[in-house]
A and B are shown apart, each in its own frame.
Chain A
Amino acid sequence: MRASSETISDLLLGARDILPMAFAAATYGTAFGLVATQSGFSFLQSFTMSAMVFGGSAQLVALDQLTAGAGVAAAVVAGAALNLRILLITASMRAALIQRPWWQIATGVHLATDASVALMQTAKQRGALASYWYLFGGGALLLLVWVFSTSVGAVLSRGIPDPARFGLDFAIVAVFIALLPGLWRGKRDLAPWLTASGIVAVFVLTIPDFAGWALLFGAVSGAVVAGVRHEE
């Protein structure tokens, strides 16, 4: 029985640690639901998209491509390009997922988002590796909030005050910036981080439509720089 009480406390801890990210996701999700309804999505379509794609920027970009008349294939590719970075996150969740039954692996990877990086970071600061159920608890709550806030936005669709007026659109940006000091491991991170952000900057300033690829290419290049260098 000790194992199961540990499971529950990990679940709850994960859910608690995700709260700031859940708040940011709620504002973003409401905005997405609103835009989706205004672009002709039915309630069920916004709901299904949030539950299956679980990535705000990917959903917005796909929706944008579709309403711009780019067609299904272009919309899927553009959205997928933005979600490609999650591949890097599930890769770094290896330790928590390994030796789990297949259905737990399938659920665990589906719950992976940028916020999982924050959870793994928080666990590390406590001096422990993020466990499967810790990541599950945080991810599941985030998915619930995400789907719920999308639905609220889709249902109300009108009459919601513009979130930008209250600076709420900045919540998600602030979360990622606030993660940086914790992720910083000292001088050895300088070259990889400059590489990653520099490549993104060059991409955005030259070919702004390929943000998803810029993220993937930038992050991987930074990691390569970190891998190739030897000094500690």
Chain B
Amino acid sequence: MKNEIWLTVIGLGLASFAIRLSGYFLALRLPQSGAWTRGLEALPGCLIAALVALMMLKGGTIELLAGGTVLLVAARTRNLPISMLVGILIVAGLRQFA
């Protein structure tokens, strides 16, 4: 088991570095205009939208409620720490009753 853990740790570490490096080299080869640019510029938003969808699907009613509130607060205040705090407080509060 000990060796298996080390192999996984090192293997995943090297794989992660290769992934990070190849993203940059991939971007170097892509054309910097037209459809490719529009796609690349939309990529961060699409990625975070996908992440949030994944996290929300894994959560229950409490997480959905808190998530919706965080979205509203963030849209209104554009303040990351405040939005985060509101989310944590709602989840912590509602879980006391769950």
Contact = CB atoms under 8 A, between A and B. Distances in A.
Contacts of B9: 45, 48-49, 52-53
A40 B5 contact: yes
Contacts of B53: 196-198, 200-201, 218
Contacts of A90: 20-24, 27
Nearest to B57: A204
B84 to A, nearest CB: 4
Contacts of B55: 173, 176
A88 B30 CA distance: 13
B39 A224 contact: yes
Interface in A42-96: 42, 45, 48-49, 51-55, 58-59, 62, 66, 71-72, 75-76, 79-80, 83-94
B8 to A, nearest CB: 5
A222 B42 contact: yes
A114 B51 contact: yes
B47 A219 contact: yes
B5 A171 contact: no
A112 B44 CA distance: 13
Contacts of B81: 19-20
Given A40-B5, A80-B19, A117-B48, A170 B11 contact: no
B40 A91 contact: yes
Given A72-B4, A121-B44, A184-B45, A23 B51 contact: no
Contacts of B93: 167
Contacts of B22: 87, 90
A211 interface: yes
Interface in A197-232: 197-201, 204-205, 211, 214-215, 218-229
A199 B47 CA distance: 12
A178 interface: yes
B46 A62 contact: no
A220 B27 CA distance: 13
7 contacts: A90-B24, A91-B23, A106-B21, A118-B80, A178-B83, A193-B46, A197-B50
Interface of A: 19-20, 23-24, 40-42, 45, 48-49, 51-55, 58-59, 62, 66, 71-72, 75-76, 79-80, 83-94, 97-98, 105-106, 109-110, 112, 114, 117-118, 120-121, 125, 164-171, 173-185, 189, 192-193, 195-201, 204-205, 211, 214-215, 218-229
| 10 closest cross-chain pairs (CB), A and B | A52-B13, A227-B39, A222-B46, A174-B87, A167-B92, A226-B42, A90-B23, A167-B91, A197-B53, A87-B23
